[in-house]
Amino acid sequence: MSGGPVISTGKVKRSFAKSAKNYSVHSSLQNDVSSVLVREFAPKSATGKILDIGCGSGFTGLAGAAKWPSAQITGVDLARGMAAEARRNGVKKVVAGDAALLPFKAGAFDGALSSLAFQWIIGGRDGLFDGIFRALRHGGFLSFSMMAGETLAELRKAYDEACVQCTGKKASFPSFPDESKTAEMIKEAGFSILRSESRKILRGYKNVDGLFATLKGLGASAPARPANPPRRDVLQKTRTLYPTNDGTITATYEIIYFWCVRG
């Protein structure tokens, strides 16, 4: 989780606020990951109040509501635009708030979900899991997914090589969390881990610009962007260095799933 520049909360908030209206158009990966999370890494049954942290446009909370009809889902997202989009999509209760500073009283929830949000928080904000621990009752569950180190490996390698060729300097990317260090943080906060697993997902794109468009539409391009600002010549060189297969490209996403319980 160390070794790269820290992702600022303000950058994350602005980036996802801009992408809120078009987020669902580009969110097939997020929908797939949310489905796996709720289906395989969360309790078979749940009641009471469930918190969806970094709810985005609401698909994780809605998946939870479909699985647990008697549960009450509350979404929270840093970007007000995303919170509004989740309401429009059918999440009845959504608030704008910081995942690392949850605006809820102690023991307010019986469980918590989060899909593909924590990679933008871990490493830059202390107390994420402590805050979630506080918001859950004793025995409450936390099920979450996040991107890990091999995510966008092809793009990062091509961009890094392009930077060296065009500027003489390597790229400086924010680092994604890894499973073992995240597990340490979870346990230190007081959770027990019931299950964790790393999986790789491959997504195909027509070209590099298609990948860029998807990342921008998801609000992920700014948080994941290297510290050294992209130049036109570097981007063009990246397009030529990115490995292709019959004219198309493939991007790797490493996803880590955790299912935990509050002690």
Question: What does the pLDDT look like over 195-234, one tens digit per residue?
Answer: 999 999 999 999 999 998 888 776 554 445 666 667 899 9
Write down the architecture of domain 9-149+174-202+254-262 according to CATH.
3-Layer(aba) Sandwich (3.40)
List the single range of 8-12, 120-124, 160-164, 167-171 with lowest mean pLDDT.
8-12
For position 80, what pLDDT does the model report?
Answer: 83
pLDDT tens digits for 135-150? Answer: 999 999 999 999 999 9
3-state secondary structure the chain: CCCCCCCCHHHHHHHHHHHHHHHHHHCHHHHHHHHHHHHHCCCCCCCCEEEEECCCCCHHHHHHHHHCCCCEEEEEECCHHHHHHHHHCCCCEEEECCHHHCCCCCCCEEEEEEECCHHHCCCCCCCHHHHHHHHEEEEEEEEEEEECCCCCHHHHHHHHHHHHHHHCCCCCCCCCCCHHHHHHHHHHHCEEEEEEEEEEEEEEECCHHHHHHHHHHCCCHHHHCCCCCCCHHHHHHHHHHCCCECCEEEEEEEEEEEEEEEC
Hey, where are the domains in the chain?
Answer: 9-149+174-202+254-262
Check whether 243 has a pLDDT greater than 50.
Answer: yes
For position 120, what pLDDT does the model report?
Answer: 85
For position 228, what pLDDT does the model report?
Answer: 63
For position 126, what pLDDT does the model report?
Answer: 67
pLDDT tens digits for 32-64? Answer: 999 999 999 999 999 999 999 999 889 999 999
For position 131, what pLDDT does the model report?
Answer: 94
For position 178, what pLDDT does the model report?
Answer: 87
